[in-house]
């Protein structure tokens, strides 16, 4: 496929432990690159142990570069909602803490509007038994996680640990 630079966009999402989220998105057509890291916090250059201690305010997140000529931001957000439980505050499965929160860090007003529309539709359609608590906030600095976290499952030949609704 010929990649057109004008179609390259970025999505930043938090849906609990970043290993499984990254693994699932890396497999999608149109996704050019994924990396895991930390965003939404108050300190510079946070590390894994800093974030896990809960003192930095960062979420474990994934940054996705994608070709919007192949996959839309809306499709990415829809998959995001299929990969985790957006109704649990600061928790995904056994992982508890604000670093495991559900959040969409939008990079443009258009991304914000798309995400709001999808949340409204999921709510209207009663897709979840409880209210969606996903944060919708402007993207800020994204700090790459340590190398051993990048493509964690793929490097180890493991399958994802994430919830899949559909």
pLDDT digits (tens, 9 = 90+) for 35-84: 999 999 999 988 888 888 888 999 999 999 999 999 999 999 999 999 99
How much is the pTM? 0.90
Fold of 5-156: 3.30.1060
Paired sense of beta strands 135-138 and 102-106, if any: parallel
Evaluate if residue 163 carries a pLDDT over 80: no
Residue 75 phi/psi, 5-degree rounding, is -65, -35
Residue 92 CB-density burial (10 A; 0-12 exposed, 13-18 middle, 19+ buried): buried
For 137-161, the pLDDT digits (tens) are 999 999 998 676 677 566 666 566 6
Give the pLDDT band of residue 93 (cuts 50, 70, 90). Answer: confident
For 99-134, the pLDDT digits (tens) are 889 999 999 999 999 999 999 999 999 999 999 999
The pLDDT of residue 157: 64
Evaluate if residue 135 carries a pLDDT over 50: yes
User: Residue holding tokens 């999505």?
Assistant: 11
Indicate which residues carry an active-site annotation.
Answer: 17
The pLDDT of residue 110: 97
Burial 1-25 (b: 16+ CB within 10 A, else e): eeeeeeeebbbbbbbbbbbbbbbbb
Q: Let me know how many helices (H) and strands (E) the chain has, helices first.
A: 5, 8
Q: Taking a C-beta distance cutoff of 8 angstroms, is the pair 101, 14 a contact? A: yes
CA distance 115 to 32: 21
The pLDDT of residue 1: 44
Q: Which residues pair with 8 in a beta bridge?
A: 67
Residue 81 CB-density burial (10 A; 0-12 exposed, 13-18 middle, 19+ buried): buried
Residue 142 phi/psi, 5-degree rounding, is -115, 120
Q: Which residues pair with 37 in a beta bridge?
A: 61, 144
């Amino acid at each position: 496929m010929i990649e057109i630079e004008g179609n390259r966009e970025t999505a930043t999402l938090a849906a609990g432990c970043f290993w499984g989220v990254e693994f699932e998105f890396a497999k999608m057509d149109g996704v050019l690159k994924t990396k895991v890291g930390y965003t939404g916090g108050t300190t510079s250059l946070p590390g894994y142990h800093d974030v896990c201690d809960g003192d930095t305010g960062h979420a474990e997140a994934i940054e996705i570069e994608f070709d919007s000529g192949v996959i839309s931001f809306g499709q990415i957000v829809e998959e995001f909602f299929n990969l985790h439980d957006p109704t649990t505050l600061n928790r995904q499965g056994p992982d508890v803490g604000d670093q495991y929160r559900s959040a969409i860090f939008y990079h443009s007003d258009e991304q914000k509007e798309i995400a709001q529309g999808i949340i409204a539709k999921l709510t209207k359609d009663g897709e979840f038994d409880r209210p969606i608590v996903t944060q919708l906030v402007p993207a800020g600095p994204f700090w790459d996680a340590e190398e051993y976290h990048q493509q964690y499952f793929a490097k180890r030949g493991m399958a994802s640990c994430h919830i899949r609704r559909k």
